[in-house]
Every structure is written in structure tokens, then in C-alpha cells.
Amino acid sequence: MMRFVCIHFTLTLIVSIGSAARCGETTEDQFASPSDRVDQYLTESWRETVTRPSPRSGDAEFCRRAWLDLAGVAPPVWQLRRFLTDPSSDKREHLIESLLSSSRFATHMAHRWNEFLLPAETSDDRQVDAAALQAWLRKQFLDNTPYDHLVGGFLTAGGKSDQGPAIFYTSRNLEPVKLAAATSRLFLGVQLECAQCHDHPFAQWTQDDFWSFAAFFAQLQLSETNLRGGGQAIEDRSGAEVRFPDSDRVMAPRYPGATSPPESDPTDFRRRQLTIWLASRNNPYFARAAANRVWAHLFGRGLVDPVDAMDSSNPPSHPELLQYLADYLVEQRFDLRELYRMLTRTQAYHRTSAITEGQRPPPDSFAAMNVKTLSASQYFDSLHQNVLLGRFNAAADSPQADSPQAEQAVRGEFLRRMKAPEAAPNDYPHGVVQVLGMMNGPEMLVATAEKQSGLIASLEAPFFSDSDRIETLFLACLSRPPGDTELEMFLAHLNDASAEQSSATRLSDLTWILLNTAECFVCP
Amino acid sequence: MFQSPIFNRRQSIARAVSIGGTIGMSQLLQSIAAVAGGATENDQRHCVLLWMSGGPSQLDTFDMKPKHKNGGSFKEIATAVPGLRFSEHLPQLAELADQLAILRGMATKEGDHQRGTTVMRTGHLAGGPVRYPAIGCSLSKSLRNPASKLPHYVTVAPGPFARGSQSPGFLGPKFAATSVSVSGPPAANNFAQLRVDHLQPHGFVDSERFERRLALWESMQASYLKTRNAPNIVAQDTVYRSAIDMLGSDAKDAFDLSAESETVREAYGRGTFGQGCLMARRLIERGVPLVEVTLGDGLGWDTHANNFEQVQRLCEQLDAGWATLMTELSDRGLLEKTTILWAGEFGRTPAINSNGGRDHFPQAFSCVLAGGGVAGGQAFGATSPDGMEVIEGKIDQQDLLATLCKALGVDPKSENIADGGRPIAISEGNPIDQVLL
């Protein structure tokens, strides 16, 4: 029996807010300089509360942010150096362009969506299927498939050629109830499953709505023929139906809130029927949910937060802005990359997250950049790229030390220890267990064992001064050069005569220190 | 400037321990309590979960049917409580029966290992939309002492099975159990070797070097916090400091069983379970609220064949480890603050199969509560003479967990917030007041 109480579930407010277009304005004007428009909405909101926005970030802070957000990894040291010394005034735009068009962007987006789409407790034996989904998603993002087409393709996927999305269905045992819940959270931004057990006293959607929505997933079956090949495929076969709880009432598929049934499909392919409405501009929830997710990705928090609770008891911090972003996405024919491009050009995205005087503005004011905790893979991949430099086994000088198997083993163990799929970016989701692993675990051993660490070995070159070495360490671990005081302290550590240690030992200490700082765990 | 509380504390505990050698046990414990920062304060409650992986046979342990053909080959023996009888292979526990409440009317709907484990350990069916936490995670969250240097939940040798049912679910990773694993084969003295992962700095980092690292780390943290005083940064800093405190404090000595005499170690049994029970005692002495010890590596109690041989061997370990733990806790005045639950994912079929084994049976089986808050010396509920059904005092997993909560002084209705903002009670069952003090 499900007995949980549902506290947030009304949608009326969100839908009733109309388009943000202002009187007398043509569509062309409205979308002429969208990044400025976004900043205007924010500036207006600060006027009422007398909030002072933070200044523009320095180049190093911005570079780390753009790389982690768009490529999923900290900037490589040489790229960061080049960016910092580049005198051109439009170098930030160039950086954004090159990141958005790189395959790293597609990989990172696929990784993020893979995490959203799979249940948090997806077991390890499904890794092959998860990889198939990752590959499918990556292709969509490489091709920059419009978001409505991507979701449509995802929701109607079936057959041998379309194996990637199958795990979305199989990991939920093809159960209509779970699929209805997941689909509404992901693509509509609402927790429709709250109406599974009862009508909410204040809700617009009823129990009937939920079960009629679930009926779109009633006819899923695993395609037997494909099972032996190692791949999975799903298909719709008529016959099975969803019944209203504790009754014999067969639920016909119906869009939430609609009074009449959807147009019939020639082959009674229900998921296609669903997609026609769900992934369309006629569905008021779809573009808003997508825009809100993109905003949350870049700014560390949704305009509605959490992103899957877009109901009237949880109103947006900036309702007009959210509607504007949704309209913009529709106007751009659901081109997600365009929305990323536009948002990363706002002043808001370029503000520093450092507050040097006064109170930190509230996180939902977006008057200073929010500091985002790195995901386990963002941390590991940055460590791999900038510090491990291809070495994965501290114990061995053998060729296996650098093999893909060694990499998989170290990465796999790190992710198992550290993964926190449901964590919000403004939370630090780890406890003492995970921190012990950070300080004393195998990847930190490879990073700091003086004989094996790729980075430390590279720093021992005789033409480096101590200041050069410290600077490189900072660029590799924190994506910025050291401040004056920091340089002084680190130099003192390198040259402390009271301790009898080799320079490699001292560099190992400094690496360990930087890799364990709070700064190294975040996107600034 | 950076102070070094860690190593000062280590020195003072070293002094306390060396004095302890001459001043007797109770004073030593007071020293430990004082140095560890009040972790064993009077109001600290503890819970020990004895998890029987694979599903233990109720008919060959706590609900014997010697007069029926389903009863099998084991004999029944009298216990310290007149009328309450156990298996002949639990002689030490029989002596402590006045502390035990046997729940003979357990029944769930799950006869599959994975699903049964999930139901018993979380209280909920597998596969729903909510990621329910393991009961150990919820309880350790309620019982934890924020000032303690040790983890709130330590689990000894958890099986590889049904990982989801060991996870903190929606409570988040910070409430995950700290895992003690078996490291390699038994040592020369034949005791199981237990260790906590990543509890020691890397071999080349001695304490002086570690301290030098921390000094510089500390100033980096402080300057970053000055301009980025955001919740995730503060949380990172706090958790790191707890971990560093633990590394440098006496607290982690709790994991070092070599500090115990051979006699004591022997009394618990040389295997993983016995040594795990000993570690449980050491952790409870130092204020850890929740310790879990698993018996049945993998699915050891899954006795589809040769049931009696296997159950006898498992009972020997169970009897020594559990009974010695209770006795030692009692000697230290800690048993009344410690509630013990003995359970597995389900019971075994009363009928004996053609391989001399018993199969999965969730319809009628036993669990045991003991120690603090528990009205011992009784059996609650009963099964039919053939053991096939519960005829009295039928309870389910929710009732069991609610009873455990209440014995520990935790309101089973206390709520935690799940993903998406839903408040969810630890347990919605009905506590069995007859077995509670």
C-alpha cells in the first residue's frame, strides 16, 4: 500500500501565467537580443529587493566554469594557459563556441541525461544497456537533434535499431505506473505519481488523469527475438490494459487534463499517440520543464527548484523569465544548443561566485553565480586529465599500470564510492566514509605517490622554478594561478628546512592538499 | 593558526590507556568516555543488527517442533526461562533467555532473496518509486551523537547481496554505513581479520607529514570559505573535519581488535561473525549508535541441502558471538542501552526436502529482540504444530521495525523527507507493546 502524503501537487498557477511577450511588441523584437532580455528580467527582480549583483568573474574562474558545465571536465592546463594569455576581447564567446561544438559537449550532455533517465539504483549488471543508452543519447547531441524530436524518438523507440532507450523501460520492468511517473517527472517537470493513490484536494489532476496517462504504457513488451544477441528491444503489442486500482475499470489512454481521448493511431501505437501531444509546443509543460533544466544546469538551481516539482505550491523565482525561456526554446524549434549559447552569453552567467563584502545574495536571486558541487565523474575525469596523466596503478611499473582495464577499475571504484545520483548541485552529498576514501583512497595514491604521479614527475624538470611548479599545480587542480599569499605559503612548504624531505615528497603534499580542498570539488 | 587537536588527543588517550592497565576496567572506560568527548553519555542508545543472510531456519533455532516430523534431528533444550525452549546448539543464548523476546509470528509476502532482503531491511517492497533507506540508516540518523568522532553506522562484513537494501536511499550518501571488510585469510592466530577501508593515510605519509599537510589544507579551506560561504562548501569542510578528527583520535582504535586479549577474542569465536560482535562491543563502548554484523557469508543460511549440518555450524558461531556480546555489554552496564535485533530475509520451510534441506518460507518465521527496552524471557506469537502457519501474534516487517524503534526510544512515526519533498515515517507498523518494557 502506498501511504505517502502528497504535499505538492497543483499545476494551475504555472499554466495560467501567460506568454511573457509584452504589449505592442512583435515576436521579432522580443527575441532580438535574448541574452540582454534575460539580464533585464533578473535586474528588475533585484530592484525590488535591493540586491547587489556580484561583479564579472575573472578569466580563470570563467574558464573553469565553462569547461565543467559544457565539457564536463576542468580545462586542460595548456588550454587554460592559452585562454588566460589570449588578449582578445571576445575570447569568452570563442571558448563557448568551441566547447558547444565539441564532441565533449555531446558526451557530457549524454552523461547527464543518462543519469536523469535511469533509476538511481540501477544495478551494475545493467551497465551494458546503460552504455547503449549513453551511445544513443550522444549521437542525438552530436547531431544537435531538436529536443522535441529527441524526446519523441526516445518515447517511441523500439525494435533492433533503437536499442539504446530500451533500458529506460526495462529498468522499470515495463510497468506502466513507473513509466508514467518517470515520464512526467522528466519531460513535464511534475510528479504526476502523487495522483496515483488519491485526488489531491487542491490538485488540477485527478487519480483518473494518472491512470489514463499510465495507459499509454500499457502495451509494452520485451521483444524476445532480440534477447539472445545481448541487446534488448521493446515493442508495443495490443492486448494488455491498465485498470483503475481495486476495480475492473479499464483505463483508456488520455492526455492529462484533457476531456476527450486522443486521435486514434492507425496501428494503435499508444506511445506514438502520447508523443504527439507530450513533445509538442501545444503541451504547456514540455518547453518550460526543458528550459528550467537547462537553467538549473548552468546556474546551479532551477527557476523552479527542484526541477521536477513544477507545481503551484512551488512557484518559480522568476515566472516571467521562465516563460520567456520556454517561449525562446519553442521559437528556436527546440534547439537546446541555442538555448545554452544564449544563456552562457548573459551577464548573469559571467558573474563571479565570490562575495568579498556583505551578505551572499540568496541562491534563487542569481545575483551571484552559485557554486556547484562536481559530480563524481566530473571530479574523476578532471583528475584523470590534469593530474593522473594516464597512470592508474601506483603499485606497478608494468605496462598494465596504464591499461584501459586499470583505468576502468580505478574509475569504476571511484564512481561506486562517490556517486550520488539525486544530489542537488548546491549540496555536498558525501559523508565520512566517502571523505576517507578521498583522502586515503587508491586514486589519491596514484595522484600523489611521488614515484608514480604523472604530474609530479613532469614538474621535476630542471628548467622549472619552484614558482612555476606551484603555478602548474594550481592550474591543474584548481584551474587558476595561486594568489600571492598562497604562492608564499606553498613556497615556504617547498623550502622548509626543518623537514628532511625530497622535493618530490613536498610536491606530493601540495598536490594532496589542493585535491582535497573544497575548491577542487566545485564548479565556481 | 592551525592547532593540532588530533595529536594532542592521541597523546592523552595513550596516557589514559597506559594508566588503564593498572586501574581496572570501569575507570578505563570513564577515561575513554571523557577523552572521546562524551560519546558514551548516559542518554546514548545503541542498536545492534544481527543479519542472517540467506534466511535462517526458525525450526532449528528458536521455534522448535520436536514432536512433529517437520522438526528434524536437533534436540530442544531448556533455557533460563521455564517453558521457553531453544535448539541444543544455542546453549549460551539459552542461559540468557531472560533477555530475549522471541517473535514467532513473523510473516511477509516475499520469498525471493533479493525482494525478501529489501522488505525486511527497509520495511518496504522492492521496486516502488521511493528509494527507502535501510532501517540501520534511518535509526543511526535518529540516534547519532553529532559530537562523536566515529561513524554513526558501522556494518561488519555485509554480503554482496541486495546492495539497494543496505543503502541510505533518499537519506543520501552521508547516512551510508561505514563498512568493515574481511581482509584476506585469517591471520596466523586464526582469528578473522577485519578492517575499515581507507582508514589509514597512504603508507608513505607518517603522522608528522600528515599534520603538515593539514596545516596548509586548513588555510586553503579558510580562505575559500571567506568568499564562498555557500552550503555545499560549508558541508564539505564540516565532513572533512569529522573524518580528520576520526583519523587522529583514539576513536578509530575501536577497529583494532588486537588490543583485546586472546581469551576474550576466543570467547566470541574466531570467525568473521564472532570477531564482528567483538568489534560491535568496542564500537558501542565508544558511543557508536548502530552496528550491524552479518552471519552467513553470501547466503550462508540458504540451506536447501544438508540443512542440519550447516545450521549447526552457523549456530555455533551465532551462539558464541551473540551471547558473549550480551554478557560483555551487560558487564559494562551497556546492555540496557543497547537493543539487539536478530533477523534474516525469511525463514525456512517446515517440510524437509529430499536433499535434507529446507527451502524459502516467508509465511511463518521467527525474529528475536534482546537487550535494552525489550521485555525478555518470552515468546510472542506462535505457529501451528507443523510450523506451517502463524496461529497467534502474527506480525509483519513494518510491525517488527516499529517495535525495534520503540525499544530504542525512537518514535517510529518520525519522518524523513524523501526525494520530491514527501515526508516518510521510519515505520508505519504497530509496535508490539507486549515485548517492550
**Strands B100-106, B378-380: pairing kind:** parallel
**B115 pLDDT tier (thresholds 50, 70, 90):** confident
Please give the average per-residue pLDDT across A122-141, as a whole number: 84
Please give the average per-residue pLDDT across A25-39, as a whole number: 87
pLDDT digits (tens, 9 = 90+) for B188-226: 678 998 888 888 888 888 888 999 999 999 999 999 999
Q: Which three cell numbers stand for residue B129?
A: 518509486
What pLDDT, on a 0 to 100 scale, did the predictor assign at position B177?
A: 86
Q: Exposure string (b/e) for A374-403, b if CB count within 10 Å is 16 or more?
A: bbbbbbbbbbbbbbbbebbbbeeeeeebbe
What pLDDT, on a 0 to 100 scale, did the predictor assign at position B25?
A: 41
Please give the average per-residue pLDDT across A232-254, as a whole number: 83
Which residues of chain B neighbour A7 with C-beta distances below 8 Å?
421-423
Task: Tell me which amino acid residue B396 is.
Answer: D
**A183 pLDDT tier (thresholds 50, 70, 90):** very high
The answer to whether B142 and B410 have CB atoms below 8 angstroms apart is yes
Mutate to test the interface with B, among A364, A369, A513 (most CBs of B within 10 A): A513
What pLDDT, on a 0 to 100 scale, did the predictor assign at position A122?
A: 66
Cβ <8 Å between A435 and B217: no
**A397 pLDDT tier (thresholds 50, 70, 90):** low
pLDDT digits (tens, 9 = 90+) for A269-305: 889 889 988 888 888 899 999 999 999 999 999 999 8
Mutate to test the interface with A, among B2, B124, B233 (most CBs of A within 10 A): B233
Residue B243 has its nearest CB partner, among A178, A432, A449, at A432
Nearest to B390 by CA among B357, B367, B356: B367
**B2 pLDDT tier (thresholds 50, 70, 90):** very low
- A residues 395-424 near B, CB within 8 Å? 420, 422-423
Cβ <8 Å between A437 and B233: no
Task: List, in sequence order, every residue forming a beta bridge with B81; answer none if it has no partner.
Answer: none
In B282-356 the beta strands, taken as DSSP E runs, fall at 290-295, 338-344, 347-348
Cβ <8 Å between B239 and A444: no
| d(C-alpha B404, C-alpha A513), whole Å | 44
Q: For chain A, give percent helix, strand, coil, nearest 5.
A: 55, 5, 40
The answer to whether A76 and A386 have CB atoms below 8 angstroms apart is yes
H/E segment holding residue B102 = strand B100-106
Which residues of chain B neighbour A4 with C-beta distances below 8 Å?
130, 418, 422-424
> B125 CB near a chain A CB, below 8 Å?
no
The phi and psi torsions of B338 (rounded to 5 degrees) equal -120, 120
Residue B347: alpha-carbon gap to chain centroid: 20
Residue B261 has pLDDT above 70, yes or no: yes
The answer to whether B277 and B42 have CB atoms below 8 angstroms apart is no
> A300 CB near a chain B CB, below 8 Å?
no
Residue B101 Rama label (left phi>0; alpha psi -120 to 50; beta): beta
Q: What is the DSSP letter of A462?
A: T
Q: Which three cell numbers stand for residue A2?
A: 502506498
Cβ <8 Å between B232 and A437: no
**B397 pLDDT tier (thresholds 50, 70, 90):** very high
| d(C-alpha A491, C-alpha A441), whole Å | 27
Return the number of other C-beta atoms located less than 10 Å from residue A471's C-beta.
19
**A394 pLDDT tier (thresholds 50, 70, 90):** low
Residue B142 has pLDDT above 60, yes or no: yes
pLDDT digits (tens, 9 = 90+) for B21-73: 333 344 444 434 433 333 345 689 999 999 999 999 999 999 999 999 999 99
What pLDDT, on a 0 to 100 scale, did the predictor assign at position A226?
A: 47
Residue A21: alpha-carbon gap to chain centroid: 29
Which residues, 6 or more positions from A467, have their beta carbon under 8 angstroms from its beta carbon? Answer: A487, A491
Which residues of chain B neighbour A514 with C-beta distances below 8 Å?
220
pLDDT digits (tens, 9 = 90+) for A331-352: 999 999 999 999 999 999 999 9
More confident residue, A256 or B209: B209
Which residues, 6 or more positions from A400, have their beta carbon under 8 angstroms from its beta carbon? Answer: A393, A406
> B241 CB near a chain A CB, below 8 Å?
no
**A128 pLDDT tier (thresholds 50, 70, 90):** confident
**A400 pLDDT tier (thresholds 50, 70, 90):** low
Q: Which three cell numbers stand for residue A277?
A: 501531444
Residue B33: alpha-carbon gap to chain centroid: 21
What pLDDT, on a 0 to 100 scale, did the predictor assign at position A231?
A: 57
What pLDDT, on a 0 to 100 scale, did the predictor assign at position B420?
A: 66
| d(C-alpha A92, C-alpha A522), whole Å | 20
Question: Could you tell me what percent of chain A has a pLDDT over 90?
Answer: 51
Residue B405: alpha-carbon gap to chain centroid: 14
The phi and psi torsions of A303 (rounded to 5 degrees) equal -65, -30
Cβ <8 Å between A489 and B232: no
Over A284-322, what HEC string results? HHHHHHHHHHHHHHHHCCCCCCCCCCCCCCCCCCCHHHH
Burial class (CB in 10 A: 0-12, 13-18, 19+), A78: exposed
Nearest to A512 by CA among A461, A441, A458, A457: A441
pLDDT digits (tens, 9 = 90+) for A493-510: 999 888 778 888 899 999
What pLDDT, on a 0 to 100 scale, did the predictor assign at position B145?
A: 85
pLDDT digits (tens, 9 = 90+) for A194-239: 677 666 544 567 888 889 999 999 988 877 654 445 556 778 877 7
**A461 pLDDT tier (thresholds 50, 70, 90):** confident
**Strands B194-196, A522-523: pairing kind:** unpaired
What pLDDT, on a 0 to 100 scale, did the predictor assign at position A347?
A: 98
Name the residue with cell 551497556: B334
Nearest to A287 by CA among A228, A229, A328: A328
- pTM for the whole thing? 0.79
Which residues of chain B neighbour A370 with C-beta distances below 8 Å?
230
Residue A20 has pLDDT above 70, yes or no: no
Q: Provide the mean pLDDT of chain B.
A: 87
Cβ <8 Å between A513 and B127: no
Residue A364 has pLDDT above 90, yes or no: yes
User: What CATH class is the domain B5-435?
Assistant: alpha beta
> A121 CB near a chain B CB, below 8 Å?
yes
What pLDDT, on a 0 to 100 scale, did the predictor assign at position A19?
A: 46
Please give the average per-residue pLDDT across B179-184, as a whole number: 78
> A117 CB near a chain B CB, below 8 Å?
no
| d(C-alpha A62, C-alpha A72), whole Å | 14
**A146 pLDDT tier (thresholds 50, 70, 90):** very high
**Strands B382-383, B390-392: pairing kind:** antiparallel
Question: Could you tell me what percent of chain B has a pLDDT over 70?
Answer: 87
Please give the average per-residue pLDDT across B358-363, as a whole number: 96
* CA dihedral of B354, B358, B364, B368, whole degrees rounded to 10: 150
ipTM of the complex: 0.90
Task: Tell me which amino acid residue A101 is.
Answer: S
What pLDDT, on a 0 to 100 scale, did the predictor assign at position B179?
A: 82
Task: List, in sequence order, every residue forming a beta bridge with A221; answer none if it has no partner.
Answer: A235
Cβ <8 Å between A489 and B229: no
More confident residue, B401 or A164: B401
Residue B384 has pLDDT above 50, yes or no: yes
Q: Which three cell numbers stand for residue A371?
A: 557554486
More confident residue, A161 or A99: A99
**B298 pLDDT tier (thresholds 50, 70, 90):** confident
Question: Could you tell me what percent of chain B has a pLDDT over 90?
Answer: 65
Please give the average per-residue pLDDT across A29-46, as a whole number: 94
How close, in Å, is residue A427 to chain B by CA atoms? 5
Please give the average per-residue pLDDT across A91-95, as a whole number: 98
Angle of helix A147-156 versus helix A270-278 axis, rounded to 10: 160
Q: Which three cell numbers stand for residue A148?
A: 522535441
**A416 pLDDT tier (thresholds 50, 70, 90):** confident
Residue A18 has pLDDT above 90, yes or no: no
| d(C-alpha A76, C-alpha B283), whole Å | 45
Task: Tell me which amino acid residue A199 is.
Answer: D
SS3 A398: coil
> A183 CB near a chain B CB, below 8 Å?
no
What pLDDT, on a 0 to 100 scale, did the predictor assign at position A368?
A: 97
Residue A371 has its nearest CB partner, among B131, B179, B230, at B230
Alpha helix ranges (H) inside B85-134: 91-95, 113-122
What pLDDT, on a 0 to 100 scale, did the predictor assign at position B23?
A: 36
- A residues 187-246 near B, CB within 8 Å? 191, 193
The phi and psi torsions of A373 (rounded to 5 degrees) equal -65, 135
Determine if the peptide bond prior to A262 is cis (ω within 30°).
no
Q: State in Å, rounded, how far the first CA of chain A is from the last one.
A: 44
Which residues of chain B neighbour A308 with C-beta distances below 8 Å?
420
Residue B419 has its nearest CB partner, among A3, A173, A422, at A422
> B112 CB near a chain A CB, below 8 Å?
no
Chains A & B: contacts with CB separation below 8 Å = 179
**A309 pLDDT tier (thresholds 50, 70, 90):** confident
Task: List, in sequence order, every residue forming a beta bridge with A56; answer none if it has no partner.
Answer: A351
Residue A7 has pLDDT above 80, yes or no: no
Residue A22 has pLDDT above 70, yes or no: no
| Strand-by-strand arrangement of the B338-344 sheet | B194-196, B178-182, B153-156, B290-295, B46-52, B338-344, B365-371, B100-106, B378-380
pLDDT digits (tens, 9 = 90+) for B221-248: 999 999 999 989 988 998 898 889 888 8
Identify the closest residue of chain A to B149 by CA–CA distance. Answer: A432
Task: Tell me which amino acid residue A148 is.
Answer: D
Residue A21 has pLDDT above 50, yes or no: no
What pLDDT, on a 0 to 100 scale, did the predictor assign at position A489?
A: 95
More confident residue, B3 or A324: A324
> A487 CB near a chain B CB, below 8 Å?
no
Q: Provide the mean pLDDT of chain A.
A: 86
